[in-house]
Structure 1
Amino acid sequence: MFGYYFKLGVRSLRRNPALTALMVLTLAVGVAASVATLTILHVMSGDPIPSKSDRLFVPLVDNNQPKGYTPGDKLNDDQSSYKDAIAILNARVGVRRVIMYGFGPSVEPPRAELGAFNVSGIAPTADFFAMFEVPFLYGQGWGEAEDKAGADVVVLGRELAEKVFGNTNPVGQTLRLMGFPYKVIGVIDYWNPLPHYHHIIGGPGSFGKPDDLFIPFNSAIRHETSHSGSMSCDGNRDPGFQGLLNSECTWIQPWIETRSASERVDVHAWLDNYANEQRKLGRLQRKAPNYVWNVMEWLEYRKVVGNDSKLQAWLAFGFLILCLVNTIGLLLAKFSVRASEVGVRRALGASRREIFNQFLIETAVVGLAGGVLGLLLAFGALALIAMQSNAMSVVAHMDWAMLATTFIMSVAAAILAGLLPTWRACQVTPALQLKSQ
């Protein structure tokens, strides 16, 4: 009977075309607004590395001055000083440790017609590529030997590699960065985890374009490469780059990867022991708690998804509910004019359950039509949102999960809206309808 009722539902769309079009449009607008907002929230709040997000940790200590500090105060800054970062890198905890900072180097391409231009980059240690599962198109990253020596080698992003060297393998070529010759040893494939959990502070931002290149951390330090992004300095600092390294200024991002999520306690224990040792040396006098966040906790702590985005999603769903109320009224009007039809069917032996199933399937057909139109409207809304900024163009796209959600939400909303009108239709008394004919 489902197929028969479905055909009846399709035919019913043509009975009152104006009323049907109004229902479909009302439902489609509500679904489109909700899905467009939910899609952006889905991309922004998703797990960027589900295979290991529970065993990648950001360890931080509070190295600010004790003056003005009250126990329980939140951490003032979210990065590490050079001293603490090197200690984390050399720690015997976890399977991989990475420290990094962002920088904005100038590039002098071998093709003179391009001219020099600036890009965004990261200066990480060697485990960066394995820790964050970076895919390579050509070559590979550097090793521990190049890391310690601060070798002038560079890994390019695919977009930059194609811009400078064309559609060829540039491994072995030389590229001048900041006035120094760097040897290209690798090109990463398209890699743009959303959000940019590995490099939230500084750089292109949580939802910006991917970084253009990567050089060894010690190479950037050896060339006294200025960082890009925020820096917090609590206390006096000697002048010059060496003064920065000796200072308590925080500007470096540390990460630790463990074999399992349960080893988090080992990371915290090491961090507590390190902090106690530093206090004996006169540092970390605040005696504040030490912090260890996994990836999703880190995104929550950094408020990557702001309260305004969540509020917009709730408002969109409120608008959908308003559209459903209007759809209920339209369905009541549509089904009320078919009371005589229901009376005749009941008199011929149709049960209330059969009437209920027929009308409910008809509302599902309306929901399916609204889903198709709502999907088109959602794509249009996302396209308009993407035009606002580069960051929005990255997050305003629909995946298969949201595509399926659109249809499920539309049909479910139509069925929900059709429950009351369908129930009312089932209450028709056959005798009264037959007498009125």
Structure 2
Amino acid sequence: MFGYYFKLGVRSLRRNPALTALMVLTLAIGVAASMSTLTILHMMSGNPIPHKSEQLFVPVIDNGQLEGYNPGSKPPSQSTYMDAMNMLKAKVGERRTAMYGVGLSIEPERHDLGAFNTQGLAPTHDFFAMFEVPFRFGQPWGELEDKAGADVVVLSAGLSERLFGSANPVGKMVRMNGFMYKVVGVAEHWKPLPRYYHVIAGNGQYGNEEDYFIPLSSAIRHEYDHNGSMSCNKRVEKPGFQGRLESECTWLQFWFETTSSAQRNDVKNYLDSYVSEQRRLGRMKRNVPPELYNVMEWLDYQKVTGNDSRLRVWLALGFLALCLVNTIGLLLAKFSVRASEVGVRRALGASRREIFNQFLIESGVVGLAGGVLGLLLAFGALALIAMSGDSMKHLAHMDLPMLAFTFVLSVTAAVLAGLLPTWRACQVTPALQLKSQ
């Protein structure tokens, strides 16, 4: 009977095209508005590395001074160079990495390309395995290159194609900020959303992929300035880059990786011991216990998905509810003019349940049509959102789960909207309708 009622529902769409078009359009606009905002929130708040998010941890250590301290204030989100180097040497966990963003000028050997500025990252070698960076050519540098501060580079696929075309550039040289770097690998296109591994950076939380990766020790040796934020709670006593390295300024991001989430306590115990030791040396005067955050906790701590995004979603869902109220009114009008039809069917033996199923399936057909149109409108809305900025173009696209959810939402909304009109249609008294004919 479902197939028969579905055909009846499709035919009824043509019975009153103006009213049907108005219902479908009303539902489609509500679905498009809600789905476009839900898609943005879904991309912003998704788990960027779900199979490993509970094995990657960010330490947060409060190294601030007592002067002007307000208990309960948020500690710095990054690490000092001193703390980062100490944690790297501690050999705690499976892997460790420290990093900071750099912006360098590249001077291509190709005569048709002039010098141009780029944005990249200066991590230690464990970075690539920790965050599962895919490779097109070559491989990451190793521990020996980290210790030597070697001038080696892993290019992004985009930068490699710009400099060398489709050829394998491993072993070739690239001039960066006046120094020659040897290409050891080319990373495949890699752009996790959000950019969880380094949310405090010039590229932003949803920015473009890194143009390149160079060893942290090489960036330090060349005294490359950082591309991102830096917090200094105490005056830097020594001038120049060395003064920054010895200061209490926080400007490096640090990550631990464990073999399982159960090893989290081991890392936390190490941090407690480390902070206690540093306190005995005259640092960490605020006596604030260190914290450890896994990937999703870290994104929440950094408020990557802000309250304003959630508010927009609630407003969009409220608009969808308003569209449903209008759809209910239109369905009531559509079903009320068919009272005589219902009366005849009831007189011929149709039960209220059969009438209810027929009209509810008809509402579902309206929802399916509204879903198709709403999906097209949602794609259009996302295309307009993508044009608003570089960060939004990486977020404004619909994946398969959201695509399926659009149809489910549309049909479910239409069925819910059709419950009252369908129930009213079932209450028709056959005798009264037959008498009025």
Shorter-chain TM-score tier = over 0.9
Give the aligned residue type for 2:42: H
> Which residues in structure 2 correspond to 1:209-358 (within 5 Å)?
209-237=208-236, 238-358=238-358
Provide the C-alpha distance between the structure 1 equivalents of 2:165 and 2:71, rounded to a whole number of angstroms.
56
User: Aligned residue for 1:408?
Assistant: 408
Task: Quote how far apart the aligned CAs of 1:335 are.
Answer: 0.2
Structure 1, unmatched stretches of 5+, are: none
Alpha-carbon displacement from aligned partner over 1:83-122 (angstroms, at most 9, x marks no partner): 1001111123210000000010111111122111110010
Q: Which range moves more in the overlay, 86-95 or 205-214?
A: 86-95
**Matched position secondary structure for 1:395:** coil
Give the aligned residue type for 2:8: L
Please, what is the CA RMSD of the aligned residues?
A: 0.7
Q: Deviating runs (4+, > 4 A) in structure 1?
A: none
Alpha-carbon displacement from aligned partner over 1:319-358 (angstroms, at most 9, x marks no partner): 0000000000000000000000001111111000000000
Alpha-carbon displacement from aligned partner over 1:366-402 (angstroms, at most 9, x marks no partner): 0000000000000000001111001111100011011
Provide the C-alpha distance between the structure 2 equivalents of 1:223 and 1:295, rounded to a whole number of angstroms.
31
Provide the C-alpha distance between the structure 1 equivalents of 2:240 and 2:348, rounded to a whole number of angstroms.
95
User: Aligned residue for 1:371?
Assistant: 371
Provide the C-alpha distance between the structure 1 equivalents of 2:134 and 2:268, rounded to a whole number of angstroms.
30
Give the aligned residue type for 1:349: G
Give the aligned residue type for 1:69: Y
Provide the C-alpha distance between the structure 1 equivalents of 2:349 and 2:185, rounded to a whole number of angstroms.
76
User: Aligned residue for 1:120?
Assistant: 119
Provide the C-alpha distance between the structure 1 equivalents of 2:73 and 2:170, rounded to a whole number of angstroms.
49
Alpha-carbon displacement from aligned partner over 1:230-256 (angstroms, at most 9, x marks no partner): 111111211011111111111000000
Task: Quote how far apart the aligned CAs of 1:318 are.
Answer: 0.2
Q: Which range moves more in the overlay, 348-357 or 106-115?
A: 106-115
Give the aligned residue type for 2:342: V
Task: Quote how far apart the aligned CAs of 1:68 are.
Answer: 1.8
**Identity across matched positions, percent:** 70
Provide the C-alpha distance between the structure 2 equivalents of 1:113 and 1:358, rounded to a whole number of angstroms.
69
Task: Quote how far apart the aligned CAs of 1:278 are.
Answer: 0.4
Conserved 8 A contact 1:203-1:211: no
User: Aligned residue for 2:70?
Assistant: 70
1:145 and 2:111 aligned:
no
> Which residues in structure 2 correspond to 1:30-109 (within 5 Å)?
30-75=30-75, 77-109=76-108
Q: Which range moves more in the overlay, 83-92 or 345-354?
A: 83-92
Task: Quote how far apart the aligned CAs of 1:73 are.
Answer: 2.4
Q: Which range moves more in the overlay, 232-241 or 408-417?
A: 232-241
Provide the C-alpha distance between the structure 2 equivalents of 1:89 and 1:31, rounded to a whole number of angstroms.
50
Provide the C-alpha distance between the structure 2 equivalents of 1:391 and 1:368, rounded to a whole number of angstroms.
33
Task: Quote how far apart the aligned CAs of 1:411 are.
Answer: 0.2
Q: How many residues align?
A: 436
**Matched position secondary structure for 2:227:** coil
User: Aligned residue for 2:434?
Assistant: 434
1:390 and 2:382 aligned:
no
Task: Quote how far apart the aligned CAs of 1:291 are.
Answer: 1.3
Provide the C-alpha distance between the structure 2 equivalents of 1:326 and 1:41, rounded to a whole number of angstroms.
26
Structure 2, unmatched stretches of 5+, are: none
Conserved 8 A contact 1:61-1:290: yes
